[in-house]
Amino acid sequence: MLRTVLSSLCVVLALSTPCLAEQAGGSGLPPPRTQAEWIKAAQLRLGLNVSARMWVLESPKRGTKGETVTIGFRINPDGSLADVAIVKASDGLSARTLANFVKAFEGMPRMPPFPPDMKRKSYVATVPLRLN
């Protein structure tokens, strides 16, 4: 019994370690060298994290299918996210659901740090999402 519990714990830790590494600032991959590489890496990281984080916070309620929300945020040169806010949302979404969207983005791992050719102080982004 104890061996089964320990084996399960090892599997959980192994699966969660990449998330912890990303939260600490690195994914184990080399940092993007160009702005084009950075955009691809940031899109991938957003895509992998948004839906998983929303399901953890709150599964969509009946009647929300097809509803949309647009989230705005700022990405700092070190990859941290700031100023997360709802830019636009369907009328059918509850205040709790909207707050959970903001929480999901605020708790997201850092984006990759900006490469040298991104000479910006920060990058403002908006992400449109549709509940399916």
**Residue 125 near residue 73 (C-beta atoms within 8 A):** yes
Q: Residue-wise pLDDT tens for the chain (132 aa)? A: 334 333 333 333 334 434 434 444 455 678 899 999 998 998 888 888 876 666 655 555 655 677 888 999 999 999 999 999 999 998 888 888 889 889 888 888 888 999 988 887 898 989 888 877
What fold characterizes domain 31-130? 3.30.1150
Tokens read off for 16: 């969660």
Give the integer Cα–Cα distance in Å for 76 and 83: 10
Domain range summary for the chain, segments of one domain joined by +: 31-130
**Residue 70 near residue 87 (C-beta atoms within 8 A):** yes
**Residue 127 near residue 46 (C-beta atoms within 8 A):** yes
For the question of whether the overall pTM of this predicted structure is more than 0.95, the answer is: no
